[in-house]
């Protein structure tokens, strides 16, 4: 489907409008999603494909440009991920990054070998500002290097346009054929002017106009959904998270009360979260749709009684959610479409959008397709990254507090309570978390931290409250900064803010007498606690 506006897996409704496209050829690099995101930030649509994608399919897609990612292999070794020479003869601009740069040189007659000095980390690179790639880039600029091999000799017809003391070919170009090779990673934030370089490639080299804008996406997607659904009935499992909320509002805009949203409140949400979701989507909200709230707290607590093992808790919560949703769906009867809030990272991580290893299977609402009577699935956000979903939400007029809500796991507080889940413990962590989030917002830090929350440990310790000895629980505060949620670093929250949070929690939340701050990155820890 060359150059089309994809609206997610809207059967029969994907081809909406001609649109320019950059494609990323994935050689197993850890930053493949980030490359696509950076290109899209330049208002140019971008998709990820495996290096095994045929030349014929690439031609069919009619891309404006091609970007080759990094990868873990040595391009000169037998069996290494590779591409044909024909890729560089299509007349389409190609940009190779790290492994992609080495592969370009190797395939086109240069020489790549083990580097005498490995470069890793922030390195000062000297660039040729006359190159289209480095227009408006500082002559000496900080870039992120991560390579064991290097380009010892550029391919014939290429000109060196960047170097470091240990890397003689930090970048090379054959401007006549629009071929560019960069040894470093412009897609990561550590490369200070990386986005400018990628922008130069898509605009100055590829000649893109920049037609990927969220208002256009929303407008065309709503239109396509209206045409596809017709007079059919649509069912949505609404969690209250940003993905399902944006998907639901899109359908509401498209088909109104033909949509029924089922919101299962399992009693493991953050403080007041169920009421906030109902305020937006319920009968008093701004959207014309059918809203069903199922208050199933007691049911979930009963199922979780005595269970301490994290994975067992996850399975119980997921399976019980399906049972509750199934019961409500049966009351509605046959529906034509089931809406899911699948987003593009879900597709990539499921092994469908590139060459990276399958990280996890993503089924936004568990095994629902096996239990609900419907004809087709609609995934209107399937082409979007998380930041694009938020932009779409704002375009749709969804309140900012919902659009920018912190990421929240499906099992909810069930995996932020170490050990057995009880109604009392849920209340404790809800109150502690609410205080933490309130103070983070007061300090103006809420938009600058990737994710932050309070978790209830199963550790109890001696404390003193007034003149009395206590033996109560410890709360752990977590805050991380991350780009892709695959890796994360602990956020440095000012001590005065942590002091206020700690004081308020121990004074305002019963049965908590100690507050801890988690300084562990991912890896070795995970972002969540269980």
The answer to whether residues 322 and 439 touch, using CB atoms and an 8 Å cutoff, is no
Q: Which of 187, 328, 355, 388 is catalytic?
A: 187
Task: State yes or no: 262 annotated in a binding site.
Answer: no
Checking phi first, is residue 18 left (phi over 0); if not, alpha (psi -120 to 50) or beta? Answer: beta
In 3D, which of 49, 91, 89 has the Cα closest to residue 69?
Answer: 49
CB neighbour list of residue 360: distance below 8 Å, 6 or more residues apart: 349, 350
Tell me which residue of 247, 222, 239 sits closest to 338, measured CA to CA.
247
146 a known binding residue? no
Q: Tell me the C-alpha distance between 140 and 151, whole Å.
A: 20
Q: Is 74 annotated as a binding residue?
A: no
Q: Catalytic: 187?
A: yes
In order, the DSSP letters of 413-453 are GGGSB-S---HHHHHHHHHHHHHHHHHHHHTT-TTTSSEEE
Rounded Cα gap, residues 338 and 387, in angstroms: 24
438 is catalytic: no
Q: Which of 106, 147, 185, 266 is catalytic?
A: 185
- Number of Cβ within 10 Å of residue 124's Cβ equals 11
Residue 47: which of 59, 61, 29, 27 has the closest Cα? 61
Cβ atoms < 10 Å from Cβ of 91? 7
> What are the Cα distances from residue 172, in Å, to 76, 141, 343?
19, 16, 35
**Secondary structure of 178-211 in the HEC alphabet?**
CEEEECCCCCCCCCCCHHHHHHHHHHHHCCCCCC
Please identify which of the residues 42, 75, 83, 98 carries the catalytic annotation: 98
Residue 285 CA: distances (Å) to CA of 274, 280, 281, 395, 527: 14, 5, 5, 17, 33
Residue 218 annotated in ligand binding: no
Query: Exposed, middle or buried by CB within 10 Å (0-12, 13-18, 19+), for 283?
Result: exposed
131 is in an annotated binding site: no
Element (H, E) at 321: helix 310-332
Answer whether 250's CB lies under 8 Å from 236's CB. no
For the question of residue 424 being annotated catalytic, the response is no
Q: How far apart are CA 109 and CA 14, in angstroms?
A: 41
What is the helix (H) or strand (E) element at residue 331, kind and residue range? helix 310-332
The answer to whether 239 is annotated as binding is yes
Residue 243 is labelled as binding a ligand: yes
d(CA 199, CA 41): 9
Q: Which residues are catalytic, by number?
A: 98, 185, 187
Instruction: Return binding residues.
Output: 239-245
Instruction: Return binding residues for ATP.
Output: 239-245
């Amino acid at each position: 489907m060359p150059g089309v506006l994809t609206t997610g897996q809207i059967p029969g409704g994907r081809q909406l409008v001609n649109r320019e496209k950059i494609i990323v050829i994935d050689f197993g690099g850890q930053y493949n999603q980030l490359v696509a995101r950076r290109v899209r930030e330049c208002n140019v649509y971008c998709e990820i494909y495996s290096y095994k994608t045929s030349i014929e399919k690439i031609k069919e897609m009619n891309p404006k440009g091609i970007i080759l990612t990094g990868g873990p292999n040595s391009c000169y070794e037998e069996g290494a991920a590779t591409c044909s020479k024909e890729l560089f003869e299509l007349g389409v601009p190609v940009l190779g990054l790290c492994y992609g740069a080495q592969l370009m040189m190797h395939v086109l007659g240069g020489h790549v070998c083990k580097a005498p000095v490995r470069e890793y980390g922030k390195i000062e690179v000297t660039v040729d500002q006359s190159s289209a790639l480095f227009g408006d880039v500082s002559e000496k600029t900080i870039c992120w290097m991560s390579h064991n091999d290097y380009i010892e000799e550029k391919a014939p017809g290429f000109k060196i346009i960047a170097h470091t003391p240990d890397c003689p070919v930090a970048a090379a170009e054959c401007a006549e054929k629009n071929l560019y090779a960069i040894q470093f990673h412009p897609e990561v934030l550590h490369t200070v002017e990386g986005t400018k370089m990628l922008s130069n490639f898509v605009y100055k080299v590829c000649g893109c106009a920049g037609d990927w804008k969220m208002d256009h996406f929303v407008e065309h997607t709503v239109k396509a959904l209206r045409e596809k659904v017709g007079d059919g009935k649509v069912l949505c499992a609404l969690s209250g998270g940003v993905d399902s909320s944006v998907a639901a509002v899109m359908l509401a805009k498209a088909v109104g009360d033909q949509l029924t949203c089922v919101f299962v409140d399992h009693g493991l949400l953050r403080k007041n979260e169920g009421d906030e979701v109902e305020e937006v989507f319920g009968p008093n909200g701004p959207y014309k749709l059918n809203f069903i709230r199922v208050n199933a707290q007691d049911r979930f607590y009963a199922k979780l009684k005595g269970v301490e093992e994290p994975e067992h808790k996850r399975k119980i919560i997921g399976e019980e959610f399906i049972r509750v949703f199934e019961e409500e769906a049966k009351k509605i009867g046959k529906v034509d479409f089931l809406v899911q809030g699948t987003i593009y990272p879900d597709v990539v991580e499921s092994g469908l959008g590139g060459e990276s290893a399958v990280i996890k299977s993503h089924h936004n609402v568990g095994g629902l397709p096996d239990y609900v009577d419907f004809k087709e699935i609609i995934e209107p956000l399937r082409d979007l990254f998380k930041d694009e979903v938020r932009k779409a939400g704002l375009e749709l007029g969804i309140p900012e507090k919902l659009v920018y809500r912190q990421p929240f796991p499906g099992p909810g507080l069930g995996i932020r309570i170490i050990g057995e889940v009880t109604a009392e413990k849920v209340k404790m962590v809800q109150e502690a978390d609410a205080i933490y989030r309130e103070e983070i917002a007061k300090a103006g830090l809420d938009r600058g931290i990737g994710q932050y929350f309070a978790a209830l440990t199963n550790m109890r310790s001696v404390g003193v409250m007034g003149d009395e000895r206590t033996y109560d629980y410890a709360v752990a505060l977590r805050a991380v900064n991350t780009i892709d949620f695959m890796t994360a670093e602990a956020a440095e929250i000012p001590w005065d803010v942590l002091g206020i949070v700690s004081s308020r929690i121990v004074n305002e939340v019963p049965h908590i007498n100690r507050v801890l701050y988690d300084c562990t990155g991912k890896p070795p820890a995970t972002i969540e606690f269980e």
